[in-house]
Chain A
Amino acid sequence: MELIQQLVNGISLGSIYALIALGYTMVYGIVKLINFAHGDVFMVGAFIGFYSITILDLGFFPALLISMVACAIFGVLIERIAYKPLRNATRIAALITAIGVSLFIEYGTIYIRGAQPEAYPDGIVPLKTLEIFGVKISGQSILILGTSLILMILLQFIVHKTKIGKAMRAVSHDMDAARLMGINVNNTISATFAIGSALAGAAGVVFGVYYTKIEPLMGIIPGLKAFVAAVLGGIGIIPGAMTGGLLLGVIESLVSAAGYSLWRDGVAFVVLILILIFKPAGLFGKNIREKV
C-alpha cells in the first residue's frame, strides 16, 4: 500500500510537471524556442494566486482563474517584447534572451518584494481525506488531479476542436505555409504563449495549495524538470508532455520512496541523458532527418 501511496504522490507531482511541461512543449513546437522563463511564469502564478487568496480574500477557483489570466497576459508580454524580435535570429541568441528574461523575472521579484518565502494558508481546500483500499488520498491531491485533468481536457479540446487550435497546429508544422494560407501567425504564436503560460500559472496555484511554501526562485528546478518531462514525452508533442510529466513525477516519487531522496533532483537529469542517448525524439516523437 505504501507503493500505491507513493504512486498517488507521484501522479500529483507529475500533474504539476505536466501542466508546466505543456507550456514548454507548445512553445517549442511552434517557434522552436526553449523558453527558459517558463518556470518563472509558474512562480509568478503561484504568487498571484497567493495574493488573490490572502489580500483579495478570494477562494481557490477565483484565485486560480485570476492567476491563469494574469499569467497568460504576462506570457504574451514576454513573447512580444523579448522573443518576437528574435524570431529570425540564431537559436543561441533566442536561448540567451530566454535565460535573460528568466533571470530578470527571478531577481526582479526578489528586488521588489525580497527573497523571503510565503506560505499558502491552510484550509483553502476543505481537507477531506479519502480512503480507498487503505490508501489515503488527501483533498489536496484530489484537487490537483482534478484541476490538472480538467485543464488538460480543455487543452485537447482547444487544440483539436477550435480554429485557434488548428492554427496552432498548422503553424507548428510549417510557419510559412500557414502564413500563406491566411493564418495570422503572430497572433497564433501569442495565443500559444498565452495558453502555455496560463497552464503554468494554474500549476503555480496548485503547487502552492499542495506544497504550501512559495518563494521567488521556486520556478527554477520544477521548470527544468518539466522541461525534461517535455523532452521525455517528445518535445513539441502535447500528449507527450502530459505523459512525460506524469511519468517523471512517478519515477521521482518512487526513487524518493526507495530511500534515495537526496538524489531525487538528479533523477530528472539522468532520465534526460538516457532519453537523449537512446531516443532523442522522445517517447512519442519521430526522427526528423536533416536534408542533405
Chain B
Amino acid sequence: MTMLKQAKFFWTSIVLAVIFAVVMQFLINGGSLNQFYVNTLFFIGINIILAVSLHLIIGITGQFSIGHAGFLAVGAYASAIMTMKLSLPFPVALLVGGVAAAVAGLIIGIPSLRLKGDYLAIATLGFGEIVRIVFLNIDYVGGASGMTVSHFTTWPWLIGCVILTIVVIANFTNSTHGRACISIRENEIAADAMGINTTYYKVTAFAIGAFFAGIAGALYAHNFYIIQPTNFGFLKSFDILIFVVLGGLGSMSGAVIAAILLTIISTYLSSYPEVRMVIYSLVLIVMMLFRPQGLLGTKEITSFFKVGKAAKGGVKHDNKNPVA
C-alpha cells in the first residue's frame, strides 16, 4: 500500500469511527439501549484498550509480559486517588492514571531487560502480584474492601480513549520505531547488530503499553463504582493475555476482535461463572492445540481486503499496512 492509500484508509477509518461514536451516543442518551448493553459496551471498550496496549508489548516487541493487570491497578488507584481524595477533575485523573502506570512500566521494564522468555514472564507475573498485594495492604485506598469511586466515565471519554489508543499504537507500529520493536521480537541479537538500541525500545514498549493500561484503569475505576485489589489479580492478567494470544500474536486487529468477542461471551455467561471458565479454558486449550497462531496470526484485518492485489505479482502482505 502506498503512503497515499494509507492516508486515505486512515482518514476513512477515523470518519467511520466518529460516526459510530456519535450514533452510539444518541442511542445511549435516548435510552434505547438498556443498561446491560451499555455496561457490556463499556467493558468492551476498556478491554480493547487493554488488549491493544498488551499487544504492543508482547505482539510487537516480543516481551513476554503477563502482569498487565498490575498496570491496570496502578492506573485505577492513581486516578481514583485524584478524584476521590484530591477532588481533582476527571481529565486530570485520567492523565495521572496513565502516567503513573507508565512510570510503573519503566520500573518493570528496566530490570526486565536482562530477562528473556519464561523468566520475563514469571517476573512480570510477580510484579503484577506485588502491586496487588501492595494495594491490599494500604489503608489509604481501602485495603481489601477497596475504594468507592464516582462515575465519571462517559461514552465520549471511553470511545475517545479507545480511538486514541488504537491510533497511537498503530502509528507507532507503522513507522521505523515500530519496525525496530518488531526486529527485537524477531531476532534481538540481530537487531542489536543492526544498530537498534534494544534497551531503549524494550523499555519504551513497556512504558507506552503501561500508559494505556493505566488509562484503561482510570476508565475502569470511574465506571464500576468500586475497585478492589481482587479485581487486579493474575486472572485478570490472563484475561488480557488471552485477548492478545487468541487474536494472534502480532496482530492488532486480532487483539481488538478477540477482545470484543471474548468480552461479549464473557458477559453473556456471567451468570454461570464456572461454566464460563470451563468453556473459556477449553477454548484456550483447543485453540493452542489446533490453531496456535490465533485468529489472525500476524496479519491485520486489512489483508483480507486485498485479495485481488495479492493474486498478482506476489505482493505479500507485510506489517506496512495501517490501522485495522
* A-chain residues with CB within 8 Å of residue B122 when the two chains form the complex: 34, 227-228, 231, 272, 276
Interface membership of B275, Cβ < 8 A:
yes
- Partner of A280 from the list B114, B241, B242, B281 (CB cut-off 8 Å) is B114
Chain A residues with CB below 8 A from B273, complex form:
107
The binding surface of chain B is classed by DSSP as: helix
> How far apart are the CA atoms of A199 and B57 in the complex, in Å?
37
B283 closest partner in A (C-beta): A100
Pair A273/B123 contact, Cβ less than 8 Å: yes
Complex A-B, nearest 9 residue pairs according to Cβ-Cβ distance, in ascending order? A100-B284, A107-B277, A103-B281, A104-B281, A266-B133, A93-B292, A269-B126, A100-B285, A97-B288
Of the candidates B123, B129, B242, B292, which one forms a contact with A90 in the assembled complex, judged by CB atoms under 8 Å apart? B292
Say yes or no: is A252 at the interface (Cβ < 8 Å to chain B).
Answer: no
A31–chain B nearest beta-carbon distance, Å: 12
Closest to B128 in A: A269
B288 contact set on A, CB distance < 8 A: 86, 89, 93-94, 96-97, 100
Out of A90, A92, A107, A272, name the residue touching B278 (CB < 8 Å). Answer: A107
CB contacts (< 8 Å) of B265 on chain A: these are none
Partner of A96, one of B118, B127, B245: B245
CA separation between A132 and B237, bound complex, in Å? 47
Residues of B within 8 A of A265 (CB): 129, 133
B contact residues, total (Cβ < 8 Å):
39
B126-A110 in contact (CB<8A):
no
Tell me whether B133 and A82 are in contact (CB under 8 A). no
- CB closest chain-B residue, reference A110: B274
Q: Determine the distance from Cα of A101 to Cα of B292 in the docked complex, in whole angstroms.
A: 15
Interface string of A76-114 (1 = CB under 8 A from B): 000000100110011111111101111110111011000
Q: B111 and A92: CB pair below 8 A?
A: no
> Measured between alpha carbons, how far is A237 from B217 in the docked complex, in Å?
40
A292 on the interface (CB 8 Å rule)? yes
B211 at the interface (CB under 8 A from A): no
A181 proximity list for chain B (CB < 8 A): none
Which residues does chain B contribute within 8 Å of A86, judged by CB atoms? 288-289, 292
Point out the residues of chain A lying under 8 angstroms from B292, CB to CB. Answer: 86, 89-90, 93
Residues of B within 8 A of A263 (CB): 133, 137
| Cβ–Cβ < 8 Å partners of A277 in chain B | 111, 114
Q: What is the size, in residues, of chain A's interface with B at 8 Å between Cβ atoms?
A: 43
For residue B126, which residues in chain A have a CB less than 8 angstroms away from its CB?
228, 269, 272-273, 276
Chain A residues with CB under 8 Å of B121's CB are 34, 95
CB pair A97 B133 closer than 8 Å: no
Q: What 0/1 pattern do residues 185 to 202 of B give for CB contact below 8 A with A?
A: 000010000000000000
CA distance A82 to B284 in the complex (A): 11
Instruction: Choose one: A103, A231, A269, A292; the contact of B280 (CB below 8 Å).
Output: A103
B119 within 8 A of partner (CB) = yes
- Chain B residues lying within 8 Å of A272, measured Cβ to Cβ, are 122-123, 126
Of A90, A101, A227, A292, which is within 8 A of B285 by CB? A101
Residues of B within 8 A of A85 (CB): 289
The residue in B117, B189, B289 that gathers the most chain A C-beta atoms within 10 A of its C-beta is: B289
B284 & A111 in contact (Cβ 8 Å cutoff): no
Report the Cα distance A227→B122, complex, angstroms.
9
For residue B137, which residues in chain A have a CB less than 8 angstroms away from its CB?
262-263
Q: How far is the CA of A276 from the CA of B113 in the complex (A)?
A: 11
Chain B residue nearest to A36 (CB atoms) is B238
A224 located at the interface, meaning its Cβ lies under 8 Å from any Cβ of chain B in the complex: yes
B220 CB-CB contact with A under 8 Å? no
Per the 8 Å Cβ criterion, residues 267-324 of B in contact with A are 273-275, 277-278, 280-282, 284-285, 288-289, 292
Docked CA distance A82–B249 (Å): 20
Instruction: Encode contact with B along A46-68: 1 for CB under 8 Å, 0 otherwise.
Output: 00000000000000000000000
Are B118's CB and A269's CB within 8 A?
Answer: no
Question: Given that A99-B238, A276-B115 are known contacts, is A269 also in contact with B278, CB under 8 Å in the complex?
Answer: no
Determine if B118 and A108 form an interchain contact, defined as CB atoms under 8 angstroms apart: no
Residue of A nearest to B275 (CB): A111
Mask of B44-64 contacts with A, CB within 8 angstroms, 1/0: 000000000000001000001
**Complex contacts, B129 vs chain A, CB 8 Å:** 224, 265-266, 269
Residue of B nearest to A227 (CB): B122
B84 near A: Cβ within 8 Å? no
- Once the chains bind, are A106 and B289 in contact (CB under 8 Å)? no
A150 at the interface (CB under 8 A from B): no
The yes or no answer to B130 lying at the interface (CB within 8 A) is yes
List 10 additional A-B contacts (Cβ < 8 Å) besides A91-B64, A96-B242.
A90-B292, A104-B281, A115-B274, A263-B133, A266-B134, A272-B123, A273-B111, A273-B126, A276-B115, A276-B123
Say yes or no: is A290 at the interface (Cβ < 8 Å to chain B): yes
Asked if A4 lies at the interface with its beta carbon under 8 angstroms from chain B, I say: no
Cα–Cα distance between A115 and B292 once the two chains are bound (Å): 32
What is the CA–CA distance of A264 and B121 in the complex, to the nearest angstrom? Answer: 22
Per the 8 Å Cβ criterion, residues 104-148 of B in contact with A are 111, 114-115, 117-119, 121-123, 125-127, 129-130, 133-134, 136-137
Q: In the bound complex, do residue A104 and residue B123 qualify as a contact, i.e. CB atoms below 8 Å apart? A: no
* A-chain residues with CB within 8 Å of residue B277 when the two chains form the complex: 103, 106-107
Q: Do A290 and B123 have beta carbons less than 8 Å apart?
A: no
* 6 A-B pairs whose Cβ atoms sit less than 8 Å apart in the complex: A96-B288, A99-B241, A103-B277, A103-B281, A103-B284, A277-B111
Would B111 and A111 count as touching, CB distance under 8 A?
A: no
Q: Within the complex, what minimum Cβ distance (angstroms) separates A92 from chain B?
A: 6
A276 and B64 contact, CB distance less than 8 A: no
